[in-house]
Amino acid sequence: MKEQNFGKSKQQEPFDLEERLTAYYGPQLSEQPLSQASWQNLRLRLGSQEDTGRRRRPGWHLPRKRSRAYVPMSIQHAFVRIAYEASVPSVPSMLRCSLEPQVREPAVHVSWLSGRKIRLLLPLNAVTTMEQAELDVLLATGLARSIGARKLIYTLGRLLLAGVVLVACLTLILFWIHHLLLVGFLLATLLCAGVAWLSHTQAYYIAFHADALIVLWLGRSHVCSGLHALANRSLAPGHRRWSEPSLAERIERVCGTRVEARDNQLTLVG
Amino acid sequence: MATCEAELIESAAHGDQEAFQQLWELHHAAAMAAAVRFCHQRALAEEITQGAFLLAWRGLPRFQTGSPFRPWLMRILYRHALDVMEKQHTYLQPISLDHVLESEVPSGSDSHRERADPQEQVAQREEVRHALAQLGAEQRRVIALRYGADLTEIDIAQVLGWPVGTVKSRLNRARERLRVLLNDGER
């Protein structure tokens, strides 16, 4: 199927879609044997056929939500390795990963309520461009914050905060019933603002305790090189987010150094 | 060999990991070659190959006794590769020069493209990749299976579980769209 009707303006060669697509995928390749380590990795994930059989047994089951989160294998391996080295019980299913084209800098989030889900948010090219130290710091941060968030005191704190929000809602309803909506609204807003501030403070505590933990797990120099690499990737390392200390703050606390201001790197043109 | 393979499949279907390891030894290199050609990234191809074998392991109890193993495995591999590539948005990631050099045919080739400058090859492939990124996911799937796996329309229908007519129409629409996109890109 040769399509000759489209001429190449640059080279005056005939435009052939079949040829372009065949060239894009290339010829069939010779066999590409993998290392023994590859089989060992697979073997670890096999499980037993009985498990598979058990899953297939007929009966009434709740429809299971299929996870849309896909975790690249290199990230899974790094996560398992860090958990193992830190002697922390972890399951790979704790980790979710989103590779998004619009994401500029890698980030890690831990679910607020349970603290059991760690979500990595990465730019598309992160798997190939990220340094090992960067990835280690992100994963260790997620794991350490997850451990922190699950501590009894913080769990109770979150339950208390949720209770205060509930009280704020009830206050609003009560005052509304008694035709004092404005007062009720003010009170509820104050309560909610208090909850937000406490929640923010709690997240800060967890984040700084987590940084102390990852220094124990990975070593200060490795953590510092990971944090600096993350800061170099970031457009605004000094920028604080809600419940999240800035990279500059973390670097100052962990490494005792400051992040170079971006302005210094710009060349002034007269 | 066929009987031997049938025995291996039978044992692996009953949970024998050593039998499955022998199946891995027999077929993984071919599966990896197909995956590299399909996705253009060695690390991702390894991941796809392992994932396909994992799915094959889970599917072995349902494997139809007597049918050949490799075509079944390759169907799993292609389906899995397409899913992974869509999830990882591989069509939005640039092709590396390393891959072009790796996939180059060393000798005996009469195609001028294969002997072309690697930089030029990368540029040409980038144009196609950019055009593929603008297709719908289903159109990309049929194109990948047709040109990246050399499957016939009937085979593609089997892999994707679509009627042959649907495959034909999607393939034609994808080609038409690619013609427009690549032609516009060259002007």
Q: What is the H or E stretch that residue A98 is in?
A: strand A95-100
- Contacts A20 to B, Cβ<8 Å: 124, 127-128, 182
Higher pLDDT, A176 or B184: A176
With CB atoms and an 8 Å threshold, state whether B33 touches A29.
yes
How would you write A207-246 as a 3-class SS string?
Answer: HHHHHHHHHHHHCHHHHHHHHHHHHHHCCCCCCCECCECC
Give mean pLDDT, residues B45-60.
90
Length of chain B: 187
With CB atoms and an 8 Å threshold, state whether B178 touches A24.
no
Which pTM was predicted?
Answer: 0.55
Per-residue confidence (pLDDT) for residue B148, from 0 to 100? 92
Confidence of residue B171 (pLDDT cuts 50, 70, 90): very high
pLDDT exceeds 80 at position B46? yes
| Selected residue of B25, B26, B27, B32 to mutate for chain A interface (largest A Cβ count, 10 A) | B32
Give mean pLDDT, residues A108-130.
80
Rg (CA), chain A: 26
Label residue A241 left, alpha or beta by phi (over 0 means left) and psi (-120 to 50 means alpha).
beta
Give mean pLDDT, residues B129-144.
92
Nearest to B37 among A25, A38, A125 (CB): A25
Cβ atoms of residues B81 and B52 within 8 Å: yes
* pLDDT tens readout for residues A124-150: 777 667 888 888 999 999 999 988 888
* pLDDT tens readout for residues A177-188: 888 888 888 888
With CB atoms and an 8 Å threshold, state whether A24 touches B114.
no
| Closest CA relative to residue A151, chosen from A213, A239, A244 | A213
What's the mean per-residue pLDDT of chain A? 77
How would you write A163-176 as a 3-class SS string?
Answer: HHHHHHHHHHHHHH
- Which chain B residue is nearest to residue A69, measuring alpha carbons? B87
Best mean pLDDT range from A40-49, A155-164, B25-34, B56-65: B25-34
With CB atoms and an 8 Å threshold, state whether A30 touches B33.
yes
Per-residue confidence (pLDDT) for residue B109, from 0 to 100? 45
Confidence of residue A119 (pLDDT cuts 50, 70, 90): confident
Give mean pLDDT, residues A55-76.
56
CB proximity list for B63: less than 8 A, separation 6 or greater: B9, B13, B69, B72
* pLDDT tens readout for residues A236-270: 777 777 778 888 888 888 888 776 655 444 444 43
Other CB atoms within 10 A of residue B83 CB: 14
Nearest to B37 among A21, A29, A56 (CB): A29
Higher pLDDT, B144 or B103: B144
What's the sign of the alpha-carbon dihedral A60, A66, A72, A74? negative
Interface confidence (ipTM) of the complex: 0.83
Per-residue confidence (pLDDT) for residue A1, from 0 to 100? 39
Give mean pLDDT, residues B102-125.
61
Nearest to A72 among B36, B47, B150 (CB): B47
Give mean pLDDT, residues B160-173.
92
- Contacts B47 to A, Cβ<8 Å: 72-74
